[in-house]
Structure 1
Amino acid sequence: MTRASFAADPAKTRGREFDENRDGTRGPRSEFQRDRDRIIHSIAFRRLKSKTQVFIAPDGDHFRTRLTHSLEVAQIGRVIARTLGLDEDLTEALCLAHDIGHPPFGHAGEMALSQATARHGGFDHNAQSLRTLMRLESPYCEHPGLNLTWDLLEGMAKHNGPIPADNWALEELDEAFDLELDRWPSLEAQVAAVADDIAYDNHDIDDGLRAGFLDLDQLLEMDFVADQWRDVERRFPNAPHDRKMRELVRGQIGLMVNDVLEHTRELTRDVSTIEEVRGAGRMLAGFSPAMAREERTLKKFMYDNLYYHEEQLATAERARDVVARLYAAYEQDESFLTDGWRETLPDAEPARTRHISDFIAGMTDRYAIDQFARIYGKRPEGLSNV
């Protein structure tokens, strides 16, 4: 595929926060390929395998985690980027890293950390992703962080658009390495954002059906889904029901991807450079207005019937309590912190609060449960409803 004139170019990256002296022994890779590889090899990325996507601490092996979700987002993002002539490596890296700042137990854990740290600036998972990549994940001798390209970091910071008001974490990082938070990001970052929507809109349906929280009759109340189901039944009348359900999900993903491709081509017809993308004043990669309406309907359905299901809310509240009590324990008695984190705990605020928050945010679901049991003498109950 020919590279589009408005694609991000690894040969023209704005560089890295810290200069690197390379001896050429680590292979002929582009700057964006190096970004992707650094993310994949990071401890923070590996921890995503045991962090909540939709279901907290699921007993089954077939439910998605943050890791499998990120891989699915990357697959969708690569297809869109390749077809549009964008940089596939940058898009993939953004997709793989987009959830790397999520704490244990997903949004329940984020709520607990936000409440615990409210006096000192709060907690935001997107800013924590940047903080993790730029400061906390530090495997190199020469510098803190993974030292990723400016292009990757600016896409991570504002993949959903400009940031009108910085939170404390983004403000600190932006002061160190200006990410131009008031401008629009590259098309690669915009594609990563819409790929995330496509993945979780449809794969969460798959998990919801598997767990018994959703059923087909509910889904068919939406015309968008009903049209897809009728097409599946027409093409595969004798197929087993479970295979037809998976075909439904695949068909919806394909429909959304094709819509994004068509609409993005239309919006970028007169765009020639990446600077025009950043100065466009709007998203150029995304759903058409008609598909956006269907997608909003689908999201509302998922919130009403899955994310805000009474059993899900009850489990999330128990998970929130686990994180809140972990924070309280570490705040009151620093001896509960593990080696490395205890020795480096700052004395003054807000650094002390943020250090504890960083420690908890990096935990997997399983590790948080183990730490809770170590501190309180018993394992928390009711954290899995599937």
Structure 2
Amino acid sequence: MAPAMPHMLAPYAADPARSRGRLHVEPGGETRGPRDAFQRDRDRIIHSIAFRRLRHKTQVFVAPGGDHFRVRLTHSLEVAQIGRTMARALALNEDLTEALCLAHDFGHPPFGHSGEEALSAAMADAGGFDHNAHTLRILTHLESPYPRWQGLNLSWEMLEGLAKHNGPVAAPGWALREVDAAFPLDLDNWPSLEAQIAAVSDDIAYDNHDIDDGLRAGLIDLDEVLELPLIAPGWATARARYPDLDRTRLVPELIREQIGRMVNDVLEETRRRIVESGVASVDEVRAAGRPLAGFSPQIEAEEKEFTRFMYARLYHHPAQLAAGEKAHRVIAALAEAYRADPALMPEDWRLRLPEDQPARARHIADFIAGMTDRYAIARYREIIGPIDLGAA
């Protein structure tokens, strides 16, 4: 049975029928179900172990104690919802956009940026660690459910989008260089519009949902948030719509209003840039020399001011920094322990441990990076001793 017909794609959209293919050729007779290349990419992401692990990985709060705080999994789902909405409005490929959104955080180690800083420092003599490159390493090397090759064997467009969702990569680290050597991803060009939309969807999701989580945790002040140029218009609209509603009950309406305002801004600005650039194919999008999806200059400036506020008030809040320091200690200590005595690793990882460096150190880092927050805490307590990271 042929794949179901998608909505009409724009000429500059990524077309699964014109995909550059996969590193390993898959005979057509083994295709399971009526899916095109990008639909299969999305499904492989959803069925992966790495996707399931996201439910216990830090988004903002380290090992959150509250059930209502976001984690990497719920964040990725929210990004995918925003990305798919914008892709449809722009006549882009929704399935590729969704798949990119769902997989974009696979490479994060436990405890978010604190964990990454610790792991990168521990890997300094082996090339360092970068979460974005590690996403590609997971998908092409570590996650291997198929009998004939390593990795998920995703499409070129999927790997390209993940490698370059923030733009061309001038100086790739060792992990991305390995992927690029096996399956060249044209790292010096911009990615597809689907990848660009996935990146800006990530910004929209965490900008708005971090307000919700920060207020829930009591770490940011609503009055201060409402004074920000990015937020004030949405609050005024929400207040005018429901003048008698309690302020705390208006916050969800504010979040919805803000997401809508930012999405509409991206759609308008992206359409303007597409017309201005004159691109008529996905290859022309890649060769455009600049991003074609993004915020208008006004919203971009307001968003940067908002980000500075969130770093000062939330991400670098004393409680967050204290938890981050403890998380850093957990990852640093685990890396030291496993490198000193690899026998502490589970048998399946120990049996595959390379003899030579830097492959040996990188294998240990792969194991640590794949841990969830709670698994890392459990291994620390088992190997090293007690620790209390606190709970939001």
Q: Does residue 1:237 correspond to 2:243, yes or no?
A: yes
Query: 1:262 aligns to what?
Result: 268
8 A contact 1:77–1:95 mirrored in 2: yes
Question: Over the residues paired in the alignment, what is the CA RMSD in angstroms?
Answer: 1.0
Q: In 1, Cα distance between the equivalents of 2:108 and 2:349?
A: 19
Task: Map 1:40-189; keep pairs closer than 5 Å.
Answer: 40-189=46-195
Q: In 2, Cα distance between the equivalents of 1:226 and 1:193?
A: 24
Structure 2 residue ranges without an equivalent (≥5): 1-6
- Could you list the runs of 4 or more consecutive aligned residues of structure 1 that deviate by over 3 angstroms after TM superposition? none
Task: Map 1:221-232; keep pairs closer than 5 Å.
Answer: 221-232=227-238
Query: 1:354 aligns to what?
Result: 362
AA aligned to 2:177 is E
**For each residue in 1:118-138, what CA deviation from the matched residue of structure 2 results, as whole angstroms up to 9, or x when unmatched?**
111100000000000000000
AA aligned to 2:100 is L
Q: Does residue 1:380 correspond to 2:387, yes or no?
A: yes
**For each residue in 1:154-211, what CA deviation from the matched residue of structure 2 results, as whole angstroms up to 9, or x when unmatched?**
0000011100011000111100000000011000000000000000011011000000
Deviation at 1:243, TM superposition (A): 2.4
Q: In 2, Cα distance between the equivalents of 1:260 and 1:223?
A: 17
Q: Does residue 1:365 correspond to 2:387, yes or no?
A: no
Query: 2:341 aligns to what?
Result: 333
What SS does structure 1 have at the residue aligned with 2:348?
Answer: coil
Query: 1:33 aligns to what?
Result: 39
Return the match for 2:200 from 194, 201, 223.
194
Deviation at 1:379, TM superposition (A): 3.3
Percent of aligned positions with the same letter in both sequences? 61
Deviation at 1:234, TM superposition (A): 1.2
8 A contact 1:55–1:384 mirrored in 2: no
Deviation at 1:335, TM superposition (A): 1.2
Q: In 1, Cα distance between the equivalents of 2:181 and 2:73?
A: 30
Query: 2:308 aligns to what?
Result: 300
**TM-score when scaled to structure 1?**
0.98
AA aligned to 2:349 is W
Q: In 2, Cα distance between the equivalents of 1:274 and 1:118?
A: 38
AA aligned to 2:311 is Y
Return the match for 1:19 from 8, 19, 25.
25
Return the match for 1:281 from 260, 282, 289.
289
Aligned length: 384
Deviation at 1:2, TM superposition (A): 2.9
